[in-house]
């Protein structure tokens, strides 16, 4: 079934940022924008994304209490756009990609990858961490769009950000774990970093830098917390030498045959937006 044109139009029309929005993002390391996607868009794509996530859940059939910390935090599936042409429409849409490019100040952006992050009912916390410690990128010109697929009250576990933490060098080599939760929580207290966690209305989207400290609480509701994320990077992003096995794993997964120092321009990382 073809996606209705009203949906296609809505995800490709510009969402206008103000200069204050851009300044806030660069100072705070994140921004929470209201009404980025119309309700009709999310109501259309949510069942498609949920079906793919359920069908390809790598831990399907494993009880929550039998999962490790990472498994209790969320069900994770990457590159949904390769599973379904309609998900590709959303991942490749111009509205979100343009926002990403304007926030990080680049001529254009590429896809790094997309993923679903579903927190089950009674699912555990997502520990404090930074994303870019996993990514073999040679600059910080990247951003993640976090797109909840339902309204998300605090008790459901929306993202919590450390305001301005992308400007501090905290736990940049610590993978997401009990250890990262402990180390970063201590650093946040010591550095007097303000924690920001607010509910998301349907249609809200947040964007955060790869070095921004963030976490999520557990899901205390009886409904899954459904979120889809898209990671964007500068269209000229280059592959750096890896500092960890996590970065080497990402190179293998996303960067194709890119040589060290080369632009990450393989088949999995197409340009999604370029300013005229």
- Mean pLDDT, residues 246-269 taken together: 96
pLDDT tens, residue by residue, 42-68: 999 999 999 999 999 877 777 777 777
* CATH number of the domain enclosing 198: 2.60.120.620
Round to whole Å and give the CA distance between 223 and 156.
8
**pTM, entire model:** 0.96
What integer pLDDT is reported at residue 70 of this predicted model? 65
Q: Using 50, 70 and 90 to split pLDDT, how confident is the model at 69? A: low
From CA 52, how far away is CA 82, in angstroms rounded? 11
Tell me if 119 is assigned to some domain. Answer: yes
The verdict on residue 137 lying in a domain is: yes
Q: What is the pLDDT of residue 211?
A: 98
Q: Is the dihedral of CA 55, 57, 58, 61 positive or negative?
A: negative
Structure tokens given for 18? 């103000």
Give the H/E segment covering residue 90: helix 85-91
Percentage of the chain lying above the pLDDT 70 cut:
98
- 140 within domain boundaries: yes
Is residue 157 within 8 Å of residue 219, measured between CB atoms?
A: yes
Mean pLDDT (the chain) is 95
Residue count (the chain): 276
Identify whether 270 is part of a domain: no
Residue 258 belongs to some domain of the structure: no
Question: Which stretch of 67-76, 108-117, 129-138 has the lowest confidence by average pLDDT?
Answer: 67-76
Q: Is the residue at 40 inside a domain?
A: yes
Residue 74 pLDDT > 80: no
Dist. CA 163–CA 192, nearest whole Å: 10
Give the least confident one: 94-103, 119-128, 140-149, 225-234. Answer: 119-128
The CA distance from 210 to 269, in Å, is 17
What is the model's pLDDT at position 75? Answer: 85
For residues 186-194, give the mean pLDDT. 97
Q: Is residue 276 part of a domain?
A: no
Of 66, 87, 85, give the one whose Cα is nearest residue 77. 87
What is the DSSP secondary-structure string of 206-232?
EEE-TT--EEE----SSS-EEEEEEEE
Question: 144 lies in a domain?
Answer: yes
> CA 80, CA 229: separation in Å to the nearest integer?
10
pLDDT of residue 58: 77
Supply the range of the domain harboring residue 87.
Answer: 5-248
pLDDT at 73: 67
* CA atoms within a 13 Å half-sphere pointing along the CA-CB vector of 149: 23
Percent of the chain with pLDDT over 90: 90
Q: How far apart are CA 153 and CA 143, in angstroms?
A: 23
pLDDT at 71: 67
pLDDT of residue 61: 73
In this prediction, residue 111 has a pLDDT band, given cuts at 50, 70 and 90, of very high
Rounded to an integer, the average pLDDT of 254-266 is 96
The stretch 73-94 carries a mean pLDDT of 94
Domain count, the chain: 1
pLDDT digits (tens, 9 = 90+) for 2-25: 999 999 999 999 999 999 999 999
Q: What pLDDT, on the 0 to 100 scale, is given for residue 234? A: 98
């Amino acid at each position: 079934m073809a996606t209705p044109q009203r949906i296609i139009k809505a995800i490709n029309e510009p969402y206008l940022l103000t200069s204050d929005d851009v300044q806030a993002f660069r100072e705070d390391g994140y921004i929470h924008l209201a009404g980025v996607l119309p309700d009709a868009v999310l109501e259309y794509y949510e069942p498609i994304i949920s079906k793919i996530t359920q069908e390809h859940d790598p831990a399907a059939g494993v009880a929550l209490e039998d999962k490790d910390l990472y498994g209790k935090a969320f069900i994770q599936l990457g590159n949904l756009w390769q599973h379904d042409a309609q998900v590709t429409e959303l991942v490749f849409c111009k509205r979100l990609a343009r926002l990403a490019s304007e926030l990080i100040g680049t001529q254009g952006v590429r896809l790094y990858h997309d993923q679903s992050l579903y927190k089950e009912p009674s699912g555990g916390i997502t520990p404090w961490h930074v994303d870019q410690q996993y990514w073999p990128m040679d600059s910080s010109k990247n951003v993640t769009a976090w797109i909840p697929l339902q309204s998300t009250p605090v008790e459901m576990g929306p993202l919590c950000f450390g305001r301005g933490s992308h400007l501090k060098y905290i736990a940049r080599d610590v993978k997401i774990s009990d250890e990262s939760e402990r180390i970063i929580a201590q650093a946040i207290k010591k550095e007097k970093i303000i924690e920001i966690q607010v509910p998301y209305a349907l249609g809200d989207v947040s964007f955060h830098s790869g070095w921004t400290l963030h976490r999520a609480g557990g899901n205390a509701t009886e409904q899954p917390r459904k979120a889809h994320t898209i990671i964007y990077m500068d269209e000229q992003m280059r592959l750096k030498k890896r500092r960890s096995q996590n970065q080497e794993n990402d190179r293998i997964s996303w960067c194709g045959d890119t040589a060290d120092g080369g632009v990450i321009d393989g088949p999995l990382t197409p340009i999604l937006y370029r300013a005229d």
